[in-house]
């Protein structure tokens, strides 16, 4: 049987469709990501970039999930992190990104120390959305300099949190870091005006 081509939809239609799913689990979200791709031009209201760091731009949020567009300049990368027990999916309508997974060899919650080792890595392109591996949820997302272009990724987080765990390979430590938005629903958050561009 021939594989059906994905339908291109606006990001607002994409978010509304996600909101109709009964649960945010692989059996519902993975087929949805295979069926629908976001039109890159529809992301324009949420496309902000900063030379200092990637940007986090809220598109949609309810009690079940949030949809965020992240803007990546060439060479930018996230810190190594996880999202606790959240489910997380990523799609890249513009550009491409590397997802590097890490395995936690051991951790001491009292001392906030840990040992990590790099494991599998994956290329995320417009044709290849990705679910974060629940067996190895610690990961890093990178827009490598060799890609030579900006990227915009879409992130679906189930049960939205306002913090995540961030890991330091060099120090062998981890800590909680608060999460904030660069923009919400297309409007820059207070204090962000001077630091971002389109």
pTM: 0.93
Rounded to the nearest 5 degrees, what angle is found at the Cα of 138, between the Cα atoms of 134 and 141?
Answer: 110
143 in Cβ contact with 76 (< 8 Å): yes
DSSP state, 46? G
Contact 42, 60 (CB under 8 A): no
What tokens appear for 119 in the block? 């494991």
Beta strands in the chain (DSSP E): 7-9, 36-38, 55-61, 65-72, 80-82, 88-94, 97-108, 113-124, 130-131, 138-142, 151-158, 163-168, 173-178, 183-184, 187-188
In order of their start, the domains of the chain are 7-182 (2.60.120.10)
pLDDT of residue 161: 83
**DSSP secondary structure string for all residues of 129-145:** -EEPPSSS-EEEEE--G
pLDDT of the chain, 198 residues: tens digit per residue = 345 689 999 999 999 999 999 999 999 999 999 999 999 999 999 999 999 999 999 999 999 999 999 999 999 999 999 987 789 999 999 999 999 999 999 999 999 999 999 999 999 999 999 998 877 889 999 999 999 999 999 999 998 888 999 999 999 999 999 999 999 999 999 988 878 888
């Amino acid at each position: 049987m021939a594989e059906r081509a994905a339908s291109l939809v606006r990001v607002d239609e994409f978010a509304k469709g996600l909101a109709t799913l009964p649960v945010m689990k692989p059996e519902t979200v993975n087929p949805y990501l295979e069926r629908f791709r976001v039109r890159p031009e529809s992301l324009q209201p949420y496309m902000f970039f900063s030379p200092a760091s990637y940007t986090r731009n809220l598109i949609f949020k309810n009690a079940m999930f949030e949809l965020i567009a992240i803007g990546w300049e060439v060479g930018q990368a996230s810190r190594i992190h996880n999202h606790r027990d959240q489910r997380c999916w990523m799609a890249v309508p513009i550009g491409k990104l590397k997802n590097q997974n890490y395995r936690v060899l051991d951790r001491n919650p009292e001392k906030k120390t840990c040992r990590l080792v790099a494991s599998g890595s994956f290329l995320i392109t417009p044709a290849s959305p990705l679910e974060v591996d629940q067996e190895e949820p610690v990961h890093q997302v990178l827009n490598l300099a060799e890609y030579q272009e900006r990227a915009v990724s879409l992130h679906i987080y189930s049960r939205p949190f306002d913090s995540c765990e961030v890991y330091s390979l060099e120090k062998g430590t981890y800590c909680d870091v608060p999460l904030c938005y660069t923009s919400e629903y297309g409007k820059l958050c207070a204090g962000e005006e001077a630091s971002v561009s389109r």
